[in-house]
Chain A
Amino acid sequence: MAEVRLENITVSYDGKNNVLEGLNLKVNEGELLALLGPSGCGKTTTLRVIAGFIDPKDGHMYCDDRDFTRIPVHKRNFGLVFQSYALFPHLNVYENVAFGLKLRKMDKVTIEKKVTEILKVCDLTEFKDRLPKNLSGGQRQRVALARALVIEPELLLLDEPLSNLDAKLRLNMRVEIKRIQKKLGITTVFVTHDQEECFSISDKVAVMNGGVIEQFGTPEEIYTRPKTEFVARFIGFENFIKLHKVDGVLECADGTKISVDDSGDKDECLLTIRPDDIKIVADDYKGENVLCGEVVVRTYLGKSYQYETMTPFGKVVVNDASGTLYNTGDKIRMVLDKAKIVLV
């Protein structure tokens, strides 16, 4: 079990453009850190630097205060699970899992004991003689996980391990990974582009964009208090309204006053709020933070309806579960939940 630190890591594939730019990151012992971001943001590159596949142009990587930057992959003792699982196609499940142990020159009896044990934990005992091509997606995933865990790695690295599974299985495996990770107390770095997956599984989240970390914090902090427009957009804040300060009070472009707990010190800022945190109210509603808009599109979401409305200062999206139906062209009044407004 280990603590991992990246200091000032810079990576460039072509020598000109940096894929990672002076990246700093710390994962505490036993913690599960999720690297979240769109494709091309550098999250997989970060994981590959930690795994040792990429030599950073600059910076250092430490594992328990030991400099790991120049240590080759095969000497790091990190367990890895790829999106494609990368099982050895010519070896059966047992041999796949035993691969790492055999390289550690263990005797046969110990290997058999350890492999049998981990196969049991991962619910794979009955498949031990099968080749990977004869396994289902979920079983392959578990083999990949078993193979990474059996070597008792210092660090577990997961590169979008769930994205090839169907929705239901993904949910189960998510819980399973979390359970095993907590049970073994193994420090884990998890790469994903799926925000729901990321928030449900991780202790800490690093949202990445363009090779830098935009925000680092607990899932709750990031979910409720995104610090930048990018983070807000990425985690589902769909409404963005430009505000400016008039006599210390924030106003929309048409003069609608917006009251927030902390109006910040900038003269201009961007208000953002989730569609779920806006309520449609009756015409005679008296209170703060009311916007008027005209319904443009109505979408059925199952538990609620989503209305896309046009206001004098742009598009506002609201989710309404009240059951009252509004049609295209209807004028509606919406109130923004003061506590849920985020200024970026």
Chain B
Amino acid sequence: MKKGGFITIVAVLVFVFLMFPLVIIACTAFNTAPTISFPIQGFTLDWFKNVFATESFIDGFKLSFTLAIVATLLALLVGVPAAYALSRFSIKGKKFLKNYFLSPTIIPGIVLGYALYQFIVLTLKMGVIEGLLIGHFMVVLPYIIRVVGSSLEQFDFSIEEMAWTLGCPKIKAFFKVVLPNISSGIVASFMLAFINSFNNIPISMFLSGPGVRTLPTALMNYIEYFYDPTVSAISVLLMIGTILIMVLVEKTLGIGALTK
């Protein structure tokens, strides 16, 4: 009993430590004072209105959202077959390939961003949107390969072979038998990839062009000039969005799917 009590206290302290900054930010979003400060002086929803009135935020959100969706879908198209091949076949240099695919998560984002800037913007002179898409695709691909790969590790491939023996051609068997059994991994990898793309700053900083900003870069840019609670208001909106997604995941797959 006593031991359990101690653990509970520690857990509560850690929880408070993690939640405290978020709660403060959330409070400041409703502050009447023109700068981010705490405790708050009065209650207002003006900053939320300001969010929707600021064009760079709306455009930034639209761009970030579209970018995250498209980059993640592309990464799924490439990553799922790659993960399948990596766990299904004994390929020469499998270990190297696995590490290679994961390298973008290990290399600092700023290095990758600079490298992409050098290559995509300066050498290939690509458009801003294409550049951003390639950059984000590269950032999210490892998450797809890793998460889908780990759910394929759990998958018993004799199930797939069984489908063949029952008369199912190989490609069809992949869709009928393999895919349904790794669907939670695919959804989980989609969420992780989406969140990583949506939050990404270093890649977007290097690859953004005039007038084209993702939401995080638009936020950074805004803070440089205005230190008002609009930023807090956006944070609150994003938190609500995240909570909604998490509830949805929990309802459909169970939150465990994300940590598997």
Contacts and interface: CB of A to CB of B under 8 A. Distances in A.
Interface of A: 51-53, 72-80, 82, 84, 86-90, 99-100, 103-104, 147-148, 151
Contacts of A78: 165
B39 interface: no
A80 B169 contact: no
Contacts of B181: 88-90
Interface string B142-172: 0000000000000010110111111111100
Contacts of A103: 166-168
Q: Which of A75, A77, A90 has the most CB of B within 10 A?
A: A90
B161 A73 contact: yes
A74 B156 contact: no
Contact of A74 (B158, B164, B177, B180): B164
B6 to A, nearest CB: 38
A82 B162 contact: yes
Contacts of B177: 88
B159 A89 contact: yes
B158 A73 contact: no
Nearest to A83: B158
Given A79-B165, A90-B181, 12 more contacts: A52-B164, A72-B164, A73-B161, A74-B169, A80-B162, A82-B162, A84-B156, A86-B156, A88-B163, A88-B181, A89-B181, A103-B167
Contacts of A51: 161, 165
Contact of B166 (A52, A72, A82, A100): A100
A80 to B, nearest CB: 4
A75 B166 CA distance: 9
**Considering residues B163, B166, B168, which has the most beta carbons from chain A within 10 angstroms of its beta carbon?**
B166
A67 to B, nearest CB: 19
Interface residues of B, number: 17
A72 B171 CA distance: 13
Given A88-B177, A90-B180, A151 B167 contact: yes
Nearest to A51: B165
Contacts of A77: 167
State the 9 A-B residue pairs at the shortest beta-carbon distance, nearest first.
A100-B166, A73-B164, A86-B158, A103-B167, A86-B162, A80-B165, A90-B180, A86-B159, A74-B164
Contacts of A90: 180-181
A181 to B, nearest CB: 18
Interface of B: 156, 158-159, 161-170, 173, 177, 180-181
Which of B162, B170, B177 counts the most A-chain CB atoms under 10 A from its CB?
B162
A84 B170 contact: no
Contacts of A74: 164-170, 173
A202 B39 CA distance: 84
Contacts of B168: 74, 99, 103
A298 B161 CA distance: 49
Nearest to B167: A103
B159 A88 contact: yes
Contacts of A80: 161-162, 165
29 contacts: A51-B161, A72-B169, A73-B161, A74-B165, A74-B166, A74-B169, A74-B170, A76-B165, A77-B167, A80-B165, A84-B156, A84-B158, A86-B156, A86-B159, A87-B159, A88-B159, A88-B162, A88-B163, A88-B181, A89-B159, A89-B181, A90-B181, A100-B166, A100-B167, A103-B167, A103-B168, A147-B162, A148-B165, A151-B167
Most chain A beta-carbon neighbours within 10 Å: one of B163, B165, B181: B165
Contacts of B170: 74
Contacts of B167: 74-75, 77, 100, 103-104, 151
Contacts of A75: 167
A151 B166 contact: yes
A149 to B, nearest CB: 11
Contacts of B162: 80, 82, 86, 88, 147
Contact of B161 (A53, A89, A99, A147): A53
B160 to A, nearest CB: 8
A52 B169 CA distance: 13
A60 B56 CA distance: 70
A74 B159 CA distance: 14
A90 B177 CA distance: 8
Nearest to B158: A86
A87 B156 CA distance: 10
Nearest to A97: B166
A18 to B, nearest CB: 18
Contacts of B161: 51, 53, 73, 80, 82, 86
Contacts of A148: 165
A104 B165 CA distance: 12
Contacts of B164: 52-53, 72-74
